[in-house]
Amino acid sequence: MLWAIVVLAGCVRYSSRPWDPDATQSANDGLSSSGERTVDGPGGAEAGLPDGEVPKPDGEVPRPDAAPDTDAKVLLPDVAIDPPDAAPPKPDAPVPTGTWSPMSSTVGWSLNAIWGTSATDIFAVGNHGTILRCDGSVWSPMSSGTITDLLGVWGTGPSDVYAVGKKGELLHYNGSGWSSASSGVTQALEAVWGSGPADIHAVGWTDIVHFNGAVWSPAPVTTTGSLYAVGGTGPTTVFAGGWSGTLLRWDGASWSSVSSGTTLTLYGIFGFKGGDAFAVGGGGTILRFNGTSWTTMTTNTKDELYAVWGSSTSHVVAVGELGRIQRFDGSSWSPMTSGTNSGLNGIWGVNAGLMYVVGANGLVLRYQ
């Protein structure tokens, strides 16, 4: 099982804006006059920004090998034993041969995150309370009951989905409709992820809240950096990442700081159950967790990367600014052609041959 954490028009490179103390409720405080998104952080949008890192633009949120062949019978005295059934083929083709193409989302607001339960049940969230649902062919709007920008989405099934956003916004979908839940915080919640219906984490600004299946409550955590991403490999290995390489780990009992090996901001985290995890961020940063520690990977891009998803450790895809899509084949990262220069904010997929990306100005791309 894969767990993901953790968004049509051309765009220009992003510029920062003066820091507004009132805007620090969220690390991403809405559209600028040019339609670009900025990131506020400790000291403002520019102060404290690591060298070489571009502030995040508006609308762009910052989340088995086959069995051995047995082609002959094994003979015992007077008995022939048939070989075992062949293992099912791996779902991922060694080299994807599809293409990315746009889908109509029917909205013009930036879409910030995407998550789904199957090829025919996919959710996307965005600015101004936008929530869309796709049946595999058509995207349809859902009533969210809010106009607050929504920044993250994740769930355990078609009747248990959560969306988070600015001002501590927290929504729950029960299969019939969306309703508001109390997060207990007033600052922006940027991302949401869980290991199950009774173990869910939402992060943002300097807050982390946890759902135990009954109530949401704040988690005791000390961090000076805004948090933009959350994801993990299981209930005792959960990571939250953010400003200037901030990286925290939940061990099932408490949060503690761990070394990320970078000073660039982390915007997205994705983990494989019981296995590796990947984190992406500023300046083309991609990190990999091997179960023990994080290491920096070579990506050959300096573009901001905002989200990451994978179907296996030999098929991991990261997306970011200027239409950037990078794919990891188990050995190295290489670019994929997106067909757009717009910012890409979120990614989710069914398998290596069917993936979806959301981004600025209602952009939705499908790979098949």
Q: What is the pLDDT of residues 270-324, one digit of tens each?
A: 999 999 999 999 999 999 999 999 999 999 999 999 999 999 999 999 999 999 9
Residues 6+ apart with CB under 8 A from 260: 241, 245, 246, 247, 266, 279, 287, 294
Residue 315 sits in a domain of what CATH number?
A: 2.130.10.10
Non-local (6+) Cβ contacts of 102 within 8 A are 8, 339, 340, 363, 364, 365, 366
Q: What is the pLDDT of residue 363?
A: 98
Examine the pLDDT at 66 and tell me if it is beyond 60. Answer: no
Q: Please say if the pLDDT value at position 228 is more than 80.
A: yes
For residue 223, the enclosing domain spans 2-8+90-367
Nearest residue to 307 (alpha-carbon basis) of 292, 291, 324? 324
Least confident of 45-49, 164-168, 249-253, 290-294: 45-49
In a domain, 137, yes or no: yes
Assigned domain for 26 exists: no
Query: Is 72 a domain residue?
Result: no
Work out the average pLDDT over 56-73: 39
116 pLDDT above the threshold of 50 = yes
Residue 60 clears pLDDT 90, i.e. is over it = no
Number of domains in the chain: 1
188 falls within a domain = yes
Cα distance between residue 5 and residue 347, in whole Å: 9
φ, ψ dihedrals at 148, nearest 5°: -70, 140
Mean pLDDT of the chain: 81
Is 177 part of a structural domain of the chain?
yes
- Confirm whether 219 is domain-assigned: yes
Q: What is the pLDDT of residue 214?
A: 96
Q: What is the pLDDT of residues 118-176, one digit of tens each?
A: 999 999 999 999 999 999 999 999 999 999 999 999 999 999 999 999 999 999 999 99
Degrees, nearest 5: CA angle 50-230-183: 110
Determine, yes or no, domain membership for 82.
no
| pLDDT score of 312 | 97
pLDDT at 220: 86
In a domain, 35, yes or no: no
